Structure 1
Amino acid sequence: MPLLDGESTGSFVTRLAARHGQSVSHLLATVGEGRSAADIEPWQSELYLNAAARQRLAALARRPLTQLTRALASLREEHLLPDGSGAPAYKWPWRPHSGFLVRGCALCAARRGVLDEVWLIRPDPWQICVQHGRFYDISRDGRLPFIDLSLGPHVLRAELRRLRLMRRLGPVGRLLVADAFAVLAHPAVHLPRLGGSRTAPLRLLPTAVTVAYRMARLERLRLDGRLVHDDYRHWREEARSDLGWQLGMALGEWSERHLPLQLPPLPFTRAARPSSRRYRQPGFPHQPDVPEMAPVDKLTCLSWEILARGPRPYG
């Protein structure tokens, strides 16, 4: 049974049941005791298990538990149901506890021999497949399951830069991208907000990534304890000059919340300075733990709203 990175547990179990010629409810009865919304579909909500049921699912799938949890995010420790009595149990609620169910790339799935529709569990209500140049979201419209990005190579370049930033900075990279989207939602910037249209992420992403890299230059030094207040003034002046006064104003408000940290002095040794990697650990005003399925509007430290009000195509 092929595993697809990022797939929702509900999507995987639906495929597993079909492979064995069973109904999903029959397969779940072998996984554990539980309840689910009537006639649940994998694009509607996420399936959650406790540790004992997770072990049974791994046995049914004939996969090592480590492989299963690496591929299926909702089976990781922070998303497990409480053990309760210790008996295997599952729950398939009306809505996911966290995250969004985003359509998976059909071409990526087909390369793994999966021809069924696949749904991913993601922190944000969209994803970009850089391999095939496609934008996917939580739209259920089968007539337009994705947006072709062949006419938008700048968006693909931006997504590759975003992924590179998060590999380098870890959780701090995710926070900076969230803050960058919030900066673009500042009233002075006059850009659309996320959720205002299906294509808003595509329009905003290149600028958001540029802003996130600009922030990273300051944040890495700040978290390593190598900034003084004069550095902020130079950084703000440069931002206004390069990006315009509107973005410069919003970035100024962001930088005022990211003031120098009062860190204990490092031992003055040659080995201590180069090995410092504190810039990968969030510091005030952000929380030290970055929830895996938290969307950008829940991660940012900025106070104004970054999502469009009223009905939105997703989120």
Structure 2
Amino acid sequence: MRPLTYRQPLVDGESTGSFVTRLAARHGQSVSHLLGTVGEGRSAAGVSPWESELYVNRAARQRLAEMAGRPLDQLMRALVSLRDEHLLPDGSGAPQYQWPWRPHSGFLVRGCALCAARHGVLDPVWLIRPDPWHICVRHGRFYDNSREDRASFIDLAPGPHVIQAERRRLRLVGAGPVGRLLVADAFGVLAHEVVAMHLPRLGSSRTAPLHLLPVAVRVATRMARLERRRLEHRLRPDEHQHWRDQVVRDLGWRLGMALDEWSRLHPPLQGRRPDLSPRWQQAPGSPHRDVPEMASVDKLTCVPWRVLSSGRLPRPYG
């Protein structure tokens, strides 16, 4: 397959549907015509890149890379849904695609227009994210899955503490899957009924993540100190109480009570101590099992969302 005339710039984290829409528009084609070259498949009538994600199998992924004029590994680094865990089954081996009404996993979040412009992209860009929000620390903007064009982002200049918290969260998440799980567990702790009465709930308003993120990162950072010792088999049974008392002094008694549940689920590991301290990039220890790339915080955490048990409140993500 010959590559198309014009190569489209890549935007990290962009959805495949968003990229293909830009690629088709640049060459004066309809998306359906371009997809007909990629392979055979089904598409929900009138689906748009801000509504759902485009999925392909292995053969169609290779065709898309050739059409875009990009090495496959380069395209996979930028477009998350092209990675192996998100591919459609190969079936007969023929190139195939699907564009359903809803993403199989994750949320479509508006990408930062200023970041896209730095890459020469002036069209709207949609990212595929595990959670329905995204903070651009470079430009201090909060984006989410809102379709409101009049206020497509929230300027975080009045709230520099949120940007600082996001930088700390990115350091935790960038250290490996354990860091991402601890952030999810911190949001789980904040959903405990003792705490949720005094804090907004994820999903209750567009700005709820902005209020919760600084607290969640502080909690996750304190969790990390204990969890590292636990994964290295150096955690003593009596350390939890000392750690909890310190958290209560720093963050308040309500969070201390909510952290009791997390501590109970993260007891000292039994068995032989590893020869080398485990890296955070390795698989997490019990009670966590795996870390799907598009799993949201309420799916990753081991802490029950107790605030939902009464049935009076909807799920954090609807």
TM-score by length of 1: 0.94
| Residue identity opposite 2:192 in structure 1 | H
Q: Distance in 2 between matches of 1:222 and 1:281?
A: 14
Moved more, 189-198 or 94-103: 189-198
In structure 2, the gaps of 5 or more residues are: 1-7
Alpha carbons 1:31, 1:88 under 8 Å: kept? yes
| Number of matched pairs | 306
- State the shift of 1:179 in Å: 0.6
Partner of residue 198 from structure 1, selected from 206, 217, 228: 206
Check 1:249–1:310 CA distance in 2 against 1; reply closer, same or farther (3 A cut).
Answer: closer
Moved more, 303-312 or 47-56: 303-312
Q: Distance in 2 between matches of 1:110 and 1:279?
A: 33
Alpha carbons 1:224, 1:278 under 8 Å: kept? no
- State the shift of 1:241 in Å: 1.8
Q: Deviation digits for residues 48-89 of structure 1, max 9, x if unmatched? A: 000000000001100000000000000000000000000000
Question: SS of the residue aligned with 1:241?
Answer: helix
Check 1:279–1:57 CA distance in 2 against 1; reply closer, same or farther (3 A cut).
Answer: closer
Partner of residue 177 from structure 1, selected from 183, 188, 194: 183
Question: SS of the residue aligned with 1:35?
Answer: strand
TM-score by length of 2: 0.93
Could you say which residue in structure 2 is the equivalent of 1:299?
300
- State the shift of 1:31 in Å: 0.2
| Residue identity opposite 1:258 in structure 2 | H
Q: Trace 1:1-315 onto structure 2 (pairs within 5 A).
A: 1-168=8-175, 170-189=176-195, 190=197, 191-266=199-274, 272-273=275-276, 276-277=278-279, 280-287=282-289, 289-305=290-306, 309-310=313-314
Q: Distance in 1 between matches of 2:218 and 2:71?
A: 40
Alpha carbons 1:45, 1:93 under 8 Å: kept? yes
Identical amino acids, percent of aligned pairs? 72
Moved more, 177-186 or 45-54: 177-186
| Residue identity opposite 2:30 in structure 1 | S
- State the shift of 1:263 in Å: 3.1
| Residue identity opposite 1:64 in structure 2 | P
Alpha carbons 2:201, 2:208 under 8 Å: kept? yes
Question: SS of the residue aligned with 1:188?
Answer: helix
| Residue identity opposite 1:309 in structure 2 | L
Q: Deviation digits for residues 90-146 of structure 1, max 9, x if unmatched? A: 000010000000000000000100000000000000000000000000000100000
Could you say which residue in structure 1 is the equivalent of 2:3?
none
Check 1:41–1:34 CA distance in 2 against 1; reply closer, same or farther (3 A cut).
Answer: same
Check 1:94–1:306 CA distance in 2 against 1; reply closer, same or farther (3 A cut).
Answer: farther
- State the shift of 1:281 in Å: 2.9
Q: CA RMSD in A?
A: 1.6
Alpha carbons 2:232, 2:273 under 8 Å: kept? no
Q: Distance in 2 between matches of 1:212 and 1:135?
A: 21
- State the shift of 1:244 in Å: 1.2
Q: Distance in 2 between matches of 1:45 and 1:116?
A: 18
Alpha carbons 1:223, 1:278 under 8 Å: kept? no
Question: SS of the residue aligned with 1:303?
Answer: coil
Could you say which residue in structure 2 is the equivalent of 1:269?
none
| Residue identity opposite 1:34 in structure 2 | G
- State the shift of 1:47 in Å: 0.2
Alpha carbons 1:166, 1:173 under 8 Å: kept? yes
Q: Distance in 1 between matches of 2:220 and 2:34?
A: 45
